[in-house]
């Protein structure tokens, strides 16, 4: 096995869950010294010999992955897409428990509390694997210290792709400490676009952006539209989705923030490859 490069952790895969033929979850051990802020991402890769054994070049390909577990957890979670010809994800999708995944030591990102000014309502808008950073944020007690209400708004192509979000909400409800902290502050709104929604589970039809434009989303949540006094937004999805959601935030009078200059909404691309 190649020696682990400087600035990289070699992590052992502890758990795997394949949600659909396009989506999977994996969990690794967490090195004691590894610190990050909930919502940040890291670079993930596989040792060169693993890439070579899968038919590629003996070279690590690095991709950005949001950390899907909160900062206090003893393990590190990731939620990934499988791109059939994706140089990393096609190989990563074949990992097994006990295998080694490489992770660069330095986390970064803008979907963090530090990049938002205080507010009352936090909207977490995501499509597909864009829910990963919010899997971290919604399990971080700081989120509920800072906000009165937290809305996870998730759109996927199919019902089955929404399962991870449902699992997270259930996990929180069953968690002895978190369930107390979260109470009724967390609201999960899910929709799918390419098949009939599973209405029995409360899944809606169509893109979140359409439900925001029409006002149907706010009506259902029993709140007014986005406004700069009370609402803060984090957005994670495809480039198109980011653009559309950014426009909706700006139309509502919200100003984009960053780590250097906190604002009323923040954006990060859902990484693929
Ligand atoms: P749609 O099926 O109408 O394209 P993907 O798997 O391609 O990343 O898409 C994930 C989900 O994001 C799909 O449900 C897709 O809807 C939706 N989506 C794609 N573009 C946008 C956008 N600009 N605004 C909101 N949702 C979007």
Tell me, yes or no, whether 172 lies in a domain.
Answer: yes
**Both 119 and 252 in a single domain?**
yes
Cα maximum dimension of the chain: 57
Tell me, yes or no, whether 2 lies in a domain.
Answer: no
**Both 74 and 156 in a single domain?**
no
In this prediction, what percent of the chain has a pLDDT beyond 70? Answer: 99
Q: How far is the CA of 208 from the centre of ligand 1 (A)?
A: 9
Q: 89 CB less than 6 Å from ligand 1?
A: no
177: domain CATH number? 3.40.50.80
- pLDDT at residue 188 tops 60: yes
Tell me, yes or no, whether 39 lies in a domain.
Answer: yes
**Both 63 and 161 in a single domain?**
no
**Both 136 and 237 in a single domain?**
yes
**Both 93 and 128 in a single domain?**
no
Q: Which residue, of 74, 104, 134, is where some domain finishes?
A: 104
Domain count across the chain: 2
pLDDT of residue 269: 86
pLDDT of residue 272: 58
**Domain extent for 181:** 113-267
CB atoms within 10 A of CB 84: 9
- On average, the pLDDT of the chain sits at 96
pLDDT single digits (tens) 151-180: 999 999 999 999 999 999 999 999 999 999
Tell me, yes or no, whether 272 lies in a domain.
Answer: no
Q: Which atom of ligand 1 is nearest to the CA of 237?
A: 8
* CA-to-CA separations, 42 to 170, 179, 268, in angstroms, rounded: 26, 28, 13
Q: Which residue, of 55, 82, 104, is where some domain finishes?
A: 104
Q: How far is the CA of 105 from the centre of ligand 1 (A)?
A: 32
Q: State how beta strands 231-237 and 121-127 pair.
A: parallel
**Both 141 and 259 in a single domain?**
yes
Whole-model pTM: value is 0.97
Tell me, yes or no, whether 257 lies in a domain.
Answer: yes
Mean pLDDT of 19-36: 97
Q: 191 CB less than 6 Å from ligand 1?
A: no
Q: Which residue has the higher pLDDT, 105 or 272?
A: 105
- pLDDT at residue 270 tops 80: no
**Both 239 and 130 in a single domain?**
yes
pLDDT single digits (tens) 106-120: 999 999 999 999 999
- pLDDT at residue 1 tops 80: no
What's phi and psi for 38, nearest 5 deg? -55, 130
Q: 240 CB less than 6 Å from ligand 1?
A: yes
Q: Which of 132, 191, 238 to mutate to test the pocket of ligand 1 (most atoms within 8 A of CB)?
A: 238
Return the structure tokens found at 64. 């950005």
Nearest-angstrom CA–CA distance, 76 and 66 = 10
Q: 239 CB less than 6 Å from ligand 1?
A: no
Which burial class, exposed, middle or buried, applies to 113 when counting CB atoms under 10 A from its CB (0-12, 13-18, 19+)?
A: buried
pLDDT single digits (tens) 40-97: 999 999 999 999 999 999 999 999 999 999 999 999 999 999 998 999 999 999 999 9
**Both 90 and 121 in a single domain?**
no
Mean pLDDT of 3-27: 97
Nearest CA to ligand 1 atom 19: 241
**Both 134 and 258 in a single domain?**
yes
DSSP 144-211: HHH-SEEEEEEEESSGGGGHHHHHHHHHHHH-HHHHHHHTT-EEEEEEESSS---GGGTPEES-HHHH
**Both 155 and 99 in a single domain?**
no
């Amino acid at each position: 096995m190649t020696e682990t490069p400087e600035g990289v952790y070699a992590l052992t895969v502890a758990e795997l869950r394949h949600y659909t033929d396009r989506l999977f979850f994996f969990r690794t051990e967490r090195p004691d010294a590894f610190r990050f802020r909930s919502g940040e991402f890291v670079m993930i890769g596989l040792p060169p010999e693993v890439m070579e054994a899968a038919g590629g070049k003996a070279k690590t390909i690095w991709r950005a992955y949001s950390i899907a577990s909160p900062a206090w957890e003893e393990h590190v979670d990731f939620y990934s897409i499988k791109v059939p010809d994706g140089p990393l994800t096609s190989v990563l999708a074949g990992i097994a428990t006990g295998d080694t995944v490489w992770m660069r030591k330095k986390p970064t990102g803008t979907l963090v509390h530090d990049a938002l000014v205080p507010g009352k309502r936090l909207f977490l808008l995501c499509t597909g694997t864009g829910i990963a950073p919010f899997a971290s944020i919604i399990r971080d007690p700081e989120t509920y210290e800072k906000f009165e209400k937290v809305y996870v708004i998730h759109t996927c192509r199919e019902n089955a792709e929404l399962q991870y979000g449902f699992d997270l909400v259930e996990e929180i409800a069953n968690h002895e400490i978190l369930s107390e902290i979260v109470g009724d502050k967390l609201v999960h709104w899910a929709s799918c676009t390419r098949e009939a929604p599973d209405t029995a589970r409360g899944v809606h039809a169509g893109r979140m952006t359409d439900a925001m434009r029409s006002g149907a989303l706010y009506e259902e949540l029993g709140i007014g539209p986005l406004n700069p006094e009370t609402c803060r937004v984090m957005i994670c999805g495809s480039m198109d989705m980011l653009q559309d959601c950014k426009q909706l935030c700006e139309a509502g009078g919200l100003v984009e923030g960053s780590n250097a200059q906190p604002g009323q909404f923040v954006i990060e691309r859902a990484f693929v490859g």
